[in-house]
Structure 1
């Protein structure tokens, strides 16, 4: 079960909603796309699902048919009213609706009250997608899988590999914690209002342990510094942290730039710093 395009339009009209650009609101009004997201998520009857930015509740309804429990977090006052009308009759053990900014919640504690394994399934607002995903991977290990719909250019940044033009801090950070891949591209016509760009569905599956064994704090500080000056050679942008001897010890060319360094090479550089600190 999900909302039809007509039902979605009717709700928007009934509540006098004009999608807010400041919140990145583009509502999915095509039932086939909703079903596609749920199918790609592979949600099972015993699964616990987190939905951030549920909007009109189309995806929420489809998830409630499929899984054991949905916790939905919505920041918009009027959309909360709609969600209460659309899904509010669900029992508390099946559905929990939270009126809050997901970026400001202690999700580790909130989700831990219900289950030790969660799946994030969401059409994420474009303005919070990357920081939210990176924060969830870093801070909320209870979320073991994510199926998220984001702008296509954002998706390409998330899954980019070393040497590609979109490779950056988000790519490396996500690759440290999980395997990420684009599993579908979605046209603008399934949204209301219709965005100017395509969207993509990204599947992110967390590793049991991070891909590399380097100190995460040192690793991410190093990478952030390097990508802040991505056109500079490593020997210049990281001179406060690494000497030429460190590059020699790791076998990494100091004239390379951040966009040409793999996660495994970042691991070597991080360990070189950690080794010096421990002495």
Structure 2
């Protein structure tokens, strides 16, 4: 059982609620869309899922149907009791509802790091927190081994962008450092209430063993370079990387940051760290 548009409107009206702009709430009101997301999540009976921004439970119920154990996180204290009632009324016993702000959550307390196979994060993320939340999860929550998130299409394209493309930037390097990112689907604005002004996309990031390098040093270097992305590296990294270090790292100082893949950034970081 998942929610239709009339069902979501009825739930909001019955409880005196409305989508909150400050929380970026856009509720999914199309059962086919949430079932498609649950299918793309590729989870089942022995899997553990954490859902961020569970809202009124449209996606939560679809994930519960897979048989996976679901931890549904919701920050809106007005919505949380409604979500708990929805889960209880649906008669599912594999969903735990947690009231928490995902941007400030203690993930080690929320997610057992000893779970076999790790956790899969599935979420319809508000556009204002999509990028920072995914980056924080990649950096700090290794127990999440796979992410399937619905974000603004432009954001998804940045995560999945290849070197040399217009969308390639610092978040592309971060995603490539920690895993493999790919866009697995697109979602029209018409399946949301209220409908946003942009198209959404589903991006999947699967963790890998990262290269052996200090990630703090690497991402500091990447951010510095992309802060002046139109300039050659010898300009954007002036005072940080010398000509000889570019040579030792086999990186052309005349390149721009979007030309470097993650392996080149790793080499450059090693060279600077060992000077």
Q: What band does the TM-score fall into relative to the shorter chain? A: over 0.9
* Correspondence for 1:175: 176
Deviation at 1:89, TM superposition (A): 5.8
* Correspondence for 1:224: 223
SS of structure 2 residue aligned to 1:82: helix
Whether the 8 Å contact between 1:73 and 1:102 is mirrored in structure 2 is: yes
Task: Please state if 1:30 is matched with 2:62.
Answer: no
List alignment gaps of at least 5 residues for structure 1: none
C-alpha change, 1:33 and 1:92, in structure 2 (3 Å) is: closer
Q: Partners in 2 of 1:51 and 1:68 — Cα distance?
A: 12
Deviation at 1:91, TM superposition (A): 8.7
C-alpha change, 1:228 and 1:85, in structure 2 (3 Å) is: same
SS of structure 2 residue aligned to 1:71: strand
Whether the 8 Å contact between 2:34 and 2:62 is mirrored in structure 1 is: yes
List alignment gaps of at least 5 residues for structure 2: none
Q: Tell me the matched-pair count.
A: 274
Deviation at 1:88, TM superposition (A): 3.8
* Correspondence for 2:267: 268
TM-score normalised by L of structure 2: 0.94
Q: Partners in 2 of 1:18 and 1:138 — Cα distance?
A: 34
Whether the 8 Å contact between 1:49 and 1:67 is mirrored in structure 2 is: no
* Correspondence for 1:68: 68
Deviation at 1:97, TM superposition (A): 1.4
Whether the 8 Å contact between 1:28 and 1:191 is mirrored in structure 2 is: yes
Q: Partners in 1 of 2:274 and 2:172 — Cα distance?
A: 26
* Correspondence for 1:202: 203
Task: Please state if 1:150 is matched with 2:143.
Answer: no
13-22 vs 161-170, which deviates more? 13-22
* Correspondence for 1:112: 112
253-262 vs 23-32, which deviates more? 253-262
SS of structure 1 residue aligned to 2:264: helix
* 1:203-251 CA-partner distances (Å, limit 9, x unpaired): 11111x11x3222121111001111121222112212321111112222
SS of structure 1 residue aligned to 2:274: helix
SS of structure 2 residue aligned to 1:83: helix
Deviation at 1:94, TM superposition (A): 2.5
Task: Please state if 1:7 is matched with 2:14.
Answer: no
Q: Partners in 2 of 1:50 and 1:183 — Cα distance?
A: 19
- Following superposition of structure 1 onto structure 2, how do residues 97-136 of structure 1 map, counting pairs within 5 Å? 97-112=97-112, 115-116=115-116, 117-136=118-137
CA RMSD of aligned residues (A): 1.7
